Structure 1
């Protein structure tokens, strides 16, 4: 009789039985009886109970299904740089009045982007779309009436970049907001472009690894600047009326310019510094005047250039209020 540990048995020539808890010398089964006693019994005196309780079936855990993508990588050094942008195209390309507009996200790089887009109004945010955009693709996020779009103040995106099944260079997380202004949707702003058959407004988020609105230039790129362009700042500084009032000047490039097409990293830095110098020049006779230049944090390139120039001119300056500006602003005392 093939008796094993765990079998339920009954005695051949006696009343009772129990569960086999061990086997000794292949001849004797130690049986745990219902009364709690352990009794050695010859295996030849045991009969296996066939309807003994079966062993529990182990549940198999199914491996998660790996999501598959079909995408195209462009084998060029340029496409290893990030180019991410918002684009608006008219709902009716034949209409001269842009009332309805389609909002697109364009990923012109060899990286995946896991993104979250939202409209911001005051301190409230409303999700527009979220997901993953594949390399070298564009997706429609949503369609809006211009009136509805302009009821919000900013369009915000947060995203991180990666490749699947291959090593990749780590890229900085994007956290960027586009200010929504009526002039951005004027018909003349919709121009021919490389991404759509229709005229579109192209708003860069990242351009050739340069994150718009964040000072991201390397020291090498600054040293390579050989030509400075003569820029006319878009915003005119209002006449100073209250000598004690603090003048705030936001040097983020997306606050100074609506269209960054054709500008290199060096051009952008030069434009920001031109605005900085212009404000200093306009207020040079306002002794004691306090001016806060908002330059952001980034990797500190704009802040470094700005402070180097202040040190050269021996002008009084300090960090602006941390409570109001964090580490992203410098106060100049004229």
Structure 2
């Protein structure tokens, strides 16, 4: 069987059609129609409907490398975007998004129960996105581990970064944040940056910095269960601050409070960020998603905060 998630099929023996939303095994698939009801069916009992197969080529752009002047050459900006199918939300598509000025040579190998499988090998041009994998979000616990390798290439006189070697096993918390627009494919998805430096926190050094002798530094008190990040709660002169200054102050207070919660071994902490334009919320979720001491995070008590607060569960 060579069917894939997201393909549009029609039943052979009855007037029914829909999208493949589950692959049980080599012989059985799940098809969801307009009634949003998934029906198990033998793969031999359906046929493809041409013209409905999901098209991933439109986001790939021109095959030739796009060049950029050395003065504007972007060396960072490799992302993995996980985009839900607009027709059937249980199916998600993985894109490698290249916002650098390099041409990228990419391979993706998955691993499940110690079995390896090559999924994709190809070139991702600057400013484009290429679909590399498909899965069902409802079966996240059964997803394989991802092994990504990325090589950089350019014809310009630019120093090449070291190859990226990334192994990732996705968890539910990776999809707890807000979806953002993926410009190359004009859809919203969860975006994970692959080429940013990993944040490393040493708990022992963190303790030392918080509990130095009194003449060196005051002892930091145990943080409150709820931390209000509204700028008027942090600064009296907030009317005279620019937007960038406000965001910097809020993020510094967030980091200090999160570090204190880790040192004091709190099970959880709530950050009140408000709704606003969503900038602060997105920045918090971006940092929490990669933090090694964060178990997961979620919207905090909607009946009290609406969508204006995030609860963080710590390891």
Q: Given the two structures, how large is their TM-score scaled by the length of structure 2?
A: 0.42
Q: Given the two structures, how large is their TM-score scaled by the length of structure 1?
A: 0.40
Larger Rg: 1
